[in-house]
Amino acid sequence: MELLQLQYFITVARLEHMTEAAQSLHVTQSSLSKTIQRLEEDLGVPLFDRIGRKLRLNEFGTRFLQRAERALFELEQGKQELSDLSSPEHGALELAVTAASTLPNILRAFRKKRPHLQFHVQMLSTQEMVTLLHRGEVDFCLSSPPVQGDDIECQIVCMDPILLAVPLGHRLAGRTRVSLSELRNESFVGVKKGYGTRDLVDSICNSVGFEPKYVYEGNEPARLSALVEAEIGIAFLPSSARNSREQIAYLHIEDHELVREIALLWHKSRYISRAAQEFREVVVAYFQAISIDGFAFT
């Protein structure tokens, strides 16, 4: 059994489409098909059910996929460990976030400690992030809500109050507190379903008898403040996202404790490089510092 066979099989198994897999791997479809066929011959069982041009991972394939992913995961961890030992001042960090408002300040602090280290950040929904976590494809995730799992380490780093953001000309702008029941006829801007803050807010609003009416739903939380300032709608925003330069009033929610937990997540078996350990220290120190300033606690 060859390493290339495993790499090709994993790609086909995840996509369940031979043409898309061939494009992703930059190989011809015929070459990819032959490689998968040889692997099945070596194993003595079919790994896919074939219905016309469609592929569906069968029970054999599902079980073998778990082993194949684990094998390549361990090889990749060995490669990263050797790279860390040979070039500790360089390297790269793979990060995924569902809670992005604090990320620029965290990366700025980390860049001061590791100016030559590269990092790649993805803004994802909770489910997308969990998939990468289980595969061991990211060093750390900064997530709200926290995620539990047998192969996932979860460290709560912050309790971040969620506030109501309204433009300064709004009828509620002169107040400091508001009840959820007063908001049932308002228009909201927010992120799409699947992001922790959105799902939390929707759940609590439903519990008091209304569903927020969204006139804008997107994938970029940082855009929401501008939409509120432009009077497109009001928004539920974490306290950590406040900016003193914004023309926005923030109100506390009465009768309900709207708080998001922010957690740092990592795969239990993933090799934690020296740089990754330092990144974790920077994250913890950052949230401890802003906790002292009063908006959060750990």
pTM strictly above 0.75: no
Nearest-angstrom CA–CA distance, 105 and 93: 16
For residue 46, give both structure tokens. Answer: 């079919």
**Can you tell me the distance from the alpha carbon of 287 to that of 248, in angstroms, rounded to the nearest whole number?**
24
Retrieve residue 269's tokens: 């078996």
Q: What is the pLDDT along the chain (298 residues), one digit of tens a residue?
A: 688 899 999 999 988 888 889 999 999 999 999 999 999 999 999 999 988 767 899 999 999 998 898 888 888 878 777 777 766 666 688 999 987 778 888 999 999 988 888 889 998 888 899 888 888 889 999 998 898 888 899 999 999 999 999 999 999 999 999 999 999 999 999 998 888 888 999 999 999 999 999 999 998 887 899 999 999 999 999 888 887 778 899 999 998 888 989 999 999 888 888 888 899 999 999 998 877 555 543 3
Q: Residue 181, SS3?
A: helix
Q: Are the C-beta atoms of 195 and 222 separated by less than 8 Å?
A: no
Residue 248's pLDDT is 94
Q: Beta-carbon neighbour count of residue 136 at 10 Å? A: 22
Q: What local confidence, expressed as pLDDT, does residue 222 receive?
A: 79
Q: Which residues contact 239 (CB under 8 A, 6 or more apart)?
A: 160, 161, 162, 163, 250, 295, 296
- What confidence score (pLDDT) does residue 237 get? 93
Measure the CA–CA gap between 163 and 254, rounded to whole angstroms. 10
Q: What is the pLDDT of residue 90?
A: 61
Q: Convert 11-31 to b/e letters by CB count within 10 Å (16 or more is b).
A: bbbbbeebeebbeebeeeeee
pLDDT confidence of residue 296: 43
pLDDT of residue 264: 94
Q: How far apart are CA 250 and CA 88, in angstroms?
A: 44
